[in-house]
Amino acid sequence: MAEHAEALRRALAAPQVVVPDAESDHAYVRHADGITYVCPWQTRLRCLLAYSRMLSAPGALLPGTVPASDEDQTMAALAQLEDGETTARLHILASVWAMPLTWFVPFSAAERWLALGADRDRPSAAATASVTRSLVYTTAMSRARRRVARGLAAVRSAPARYEDAAWKPLRAEAELAQVGRWLEEFHPYSLVELDYGGLVYLLSDDALCGDQSVAEISAAIEGVAKGECELAVAMYKRAHSRWRAFAEFELAN
């Protein structure tokens, strides 16, 4: 919630702060089993990369999004990223409106943590974690890497008939391989977390409780590995249909 409040302050500022001048000093911190885990926010880097994606999307960026006084500085920072002068190693991957299905692969259904919140309204920035509405999966890095490796082996061995059943193994392989490469950049004893973020406010309590995307994708991969095509496609389609509906919000007025 603290990061959300900070982003809201930048959005409401006049002029709007699209890319912060300096990198954030904040981080997510978790204490578990005597170990402290730290995940930097990297707000400036993430905003720069998001701005770069907007620039590369034809017609998606209106003139004047970045104040004229900040334009030169922002473009210079982007040039440094493209030239490799600045590290672009991200600790946080983010997706707008929908969750890429490959992001569910590193987790198991038993690693799910759901909180519906003390009330049904959106909590304020001062709300405590105990009353925050959230859906999170957390796992050890070693388990995440093994599951991704197993998923890659499964989709690489998928027969051609999957191409005619709404599942695109080649695309899934490329996206899952990208997840695997990202996981390899971190310490082997790290934790990996999947957080639904603000998406939980688009779902009713029943829908949140019934969302079993991780279990469905896990069953789909298991089906591919065992040659059970109908099971694999059915589980994939369930998850795909759910998240396609979310993705359509991006185009809503």
Token pair listed for 156 = 């690489």
Q: What pLDDT, on a 0 to 100 scale, did the predictor assign at position 82?
A: 64
Q: What pLDDT, on a 0 to 100 scale, did the predictor assign at position 156?
A: 87
Average pLDDT over residues 153-158: 86
Residue 75 has pLDDT above 90, yes or no: no
Looking at per-residue pLDDT, the higher value among 119 and 204 belongs to: 204
- Alpha-carbon distance of 88 to 59, in angstroms, equals 26
Token pair listed for 41 = 């926010």
Best CA proximity match to 119, nearest among 108, 109, 132: 132
Token pair listed for 53 = 């994606």
Q: What pLDDT, on a 0 to 100 scale, did the predictor assign at position 125?
A: 40
Q: Cα angle vertex 138, ends 133, 142, to 5°?
A: 170
Alpha-carbon torsion 47, 49, 55, 60, what sign? negative
Token pair listed for 79 = 């040039």
Average pLDDT over residues 106-123: 80
* pTM score: 0.80
Residue 68 has pLDDT above 70, yes or no: no
Residue 193 in contact with residue 137, Cβ under 8 Å? yes
Average pLDDT over residues 12-19: 70
Which amino acid is present at 231? L
- Alpha-carbon distance of 40 to 129, in angstroms, equals 19
92-104 residue pLDDT tens:
998 878 899 999 9
Residue 122 has pLDDT above 50, yes or no: no
